Amino acid sequence: MKKHMLSSAQIRAARALLRWSAADLAKESALGANTIRRAEVAEDGTSLTAANELAVRRALEAAGVEFIDENGGGPGVRLRKSGKEKPRK
């Protein structure tokens, strides 16, 4: 299954669900905080390279975020029910 591109709104929403700062996400994804901030202010899509987007996606998914594809209602995010989210550092 091909994964859709993340939107800046999805990244912001995922961070909010986890109560992570941009610096927290940067640390977890091994990217710079400015890279995260630039991605989050982009209007359409993000400014991330494919490799950086994958790093962000993996960090957020490892922390318990699920990305919801656009299926008529628009793309979104939610937390997995498992309750195994990483605590905020």
51-83 residue pLDDT tens: 999 999 999 999 999 998 877 778 899 998 865
Q: pTM for the whole thing?
A: 0.83
In a domain, 38, yes or no: yes
Question: Residue 59: inside a domain, yes or no?
Answer: yes
Is residue 89 pLDDT above 70, yes or no?
no
pLDDT bracket for residue 88 (50, 70, 90): low
> Does any domain span residue 85?
no
- Spell out the alpha helix ranges (H) of 1-89: 8-18, 22-29, 33-41, 50-62
- The pLDDT of residue 1 is 45
Give the chain's domain count. Answer: 1
Which residues form the domain of 35? 8-73
Of residues 52, 58, 17, the one with CA closest to residue 34: 52
What CATH number does residue 22 fall under?
1.10.260
Specify the amino acid at residue 38.
R
Q: What is the pLDDT of residues 3-48, one digit of tens each?
A: 778 999 999 999 999 999 999 999 999 999 999 999 999 887 788 9
Closest C-alpha to 56, from 75, 79, 31, 74: 31
